Amino acid sequence: MSRSSYVDFLTWALPKLSMRYKGFRKVKRQVCRRIDQRMKTLDLSSLNEYKQHLIANQDEWPILDQFCRIHISRFFRDGHVFTTLMSSSLTELGERVKKNKGKTLSVWSLGCASGEEAYTFKIIWDALLQEQFPTVSLNILGTDIDEHMLARARSGKYQKSSVKELPHHLIEYGFEIFAENYVLKDDVKANIQFLLQDVRKKMPQNSFHIIACRNLIFTYYDLSLQRKLAQRLIQKLTSRGILILGNHESLPDDSPELIQDKQCKLIYHKV
């Protein structure tokens, strides 16, 4: 089947899942391979036949939705974001929690995949900031739609390729190394919960000082859903809380409630 036939199919199907083709341009080969395998399972010979199958069988749409899940995750991904957090933002939040006599700085890693982002926050806090704020602990919630990825996150075991962007001193702090296997130390895994959740249907009940929403909502979902979820995310932020987007992402609309960070344009502060 030609490249254009896949483009035509995805352009037709993705909006029906509240997604947009633009977000899938760089990863569409991965999605198309999954669709090819599904068509073989169904004994269908063309994308048009699969399209007709979708039209006739509503229970096929959740299966296609699964094929559109993209999991790309690394420790310290987009390092300039974490550099900014380490140099200023986390300290400011820690001071605010301490001033208000709070004991917990809460982080939500949304679309956490196999947990690299969530654990990056924890390693940075424990290694660099916990001593400065001995009465404040970091409490992290990671949510994802894929239970298999969450199981990997809970295991805390990674390959060398997952940590290649993490500074060496943080690798030494956070991991036990066995050949090519990097295993998180037990104290790093403390105070982190991983929860199965589809952000399109449900969000956590509590509020957060930091929400990391990178390479999901503002990449793959259509603008209508982006706008709806963006407002919900803002509501979930504490006063002066931080929203973090992924590289090449932006909010669908300007929000008077958010101010872009001067050092890193992917970080937004709630006023």
pLDDT at 2 over 80: no
Closest CA to 112 of 190, 189, 194: 194
Among 41, 67, 93, residue at a domain's last position: 67
Cα separation, 189 vs 237, whole angstroms: 24
Closest CA to 124 of 96, 152, 89, 95: 89
Average pLDDT value for residue range 41-66: 97
Query: Which band of pLDDT confidence, cut at 50, 70 and 90, is reported for residue 41?
Result: very high
Query: Which band of pLDDT confidence, cut at 50, 70 and 90, is reported for residue 25?
Result: confident
**Buried b or exposed e, range 255-266, using 16+ CB within 10 angstroms:** eeebeebeebeb
Q: What does the angle CA 110 – CA 251 – CA 82 come to, to the nearest 5 degrees?
A: 55
Domains contained in the chain, number: 2
Average pLDDT value for residue range 212-239: 97
Instruction: For 155-212, write each residue's pLDDT tens digit.
Output: 999 999 999 999 999 999 999 999 889 999 999 999 999 999 999 999 999 999 999 9
* Tokens at 4, concatenated: 């254009």
Look at residue 249 and tell me if it is in a domain.
yes
Closest CA to 73 of 155, 149, 154, 171: 149
Among 67, 95, 115, residue at a domain's last position: 67
Q: What is the mean pLDDT of the chain?
A: 96
Residues 56 and 158 in one domain: no
Residues 104 and 196 in one domain: yes
Q: What is the CATH number of the domain that holds 251?
A: 3.40.50.150
Residues 139 and 259 in one domain: yes
* Tokens at 127, concatenated: 């290694």
Percent of the chain with pLDDT over 90: 94
Look at residue 103 and tell me if it is in a domain.
yes
Q: What letter would DSSP give residue 200?
A: T
Which amino acid makes up residue 138? L
Cα separation, 21 vs 64, whole angstroms: 14
Alpha helices, H only, the chain:
3-13, 28-42, 47-56, 61-67, 79-84, 90-99, 116-124, 147-155, 168-174, 186-189, 217-220, 223-236
Residues 27 and 144 in one domain: no
Residues 60 and 95 in one domain: no
How many angstroms from the chain centroid is the CA of residue 148?
15
Residues 160 and 266 in one domain: yes
Query: Which band of pLDDT confidence, cut at 50, 70 and 90, is reported for residue 1?
Result: low
pLDDT at 43 over 70: yes
Look at residue 51 and tell me if it is in a domain.
yes
Residue that the structure tokens 């947990």 belong to: 115
Average pLDDT value for residue range 238-259: 94
Look at residue 74 and tell me if it is in a domain.
no
62 Rama sector, left if φ>0, alpha if ψ -120 to 50, beta otherwise: alpha
**Structural domain that includes position 83:** 79-270
Percent of the chain with pLDDT over 70: 100
Look at residue 72 and tell me if it is in a domain.
no
pLDDT at 27 over 90: no
Is 188 within 8 Å of 126 (Cβ atoms)?
yes
Which amino acid makes up residue 91? T
Alpha helices, H only, 157-222:
168-174, 186-189, 217-220
- pLDDT value of residue 34: 96
Residues 16 and 62 in one domain: yes
Among 16, 35, 67, residue at a domain's last position: 67
Instruction: For 89-144, write each residue's pLDDT tens digit.
Output: 999 999 999 999 999 999 999 999 999 999 999 999 999 999 999 999 999 999 99
Residues 94 and 60 in one domain: no
Residues 96 and 222 in one domain: yes
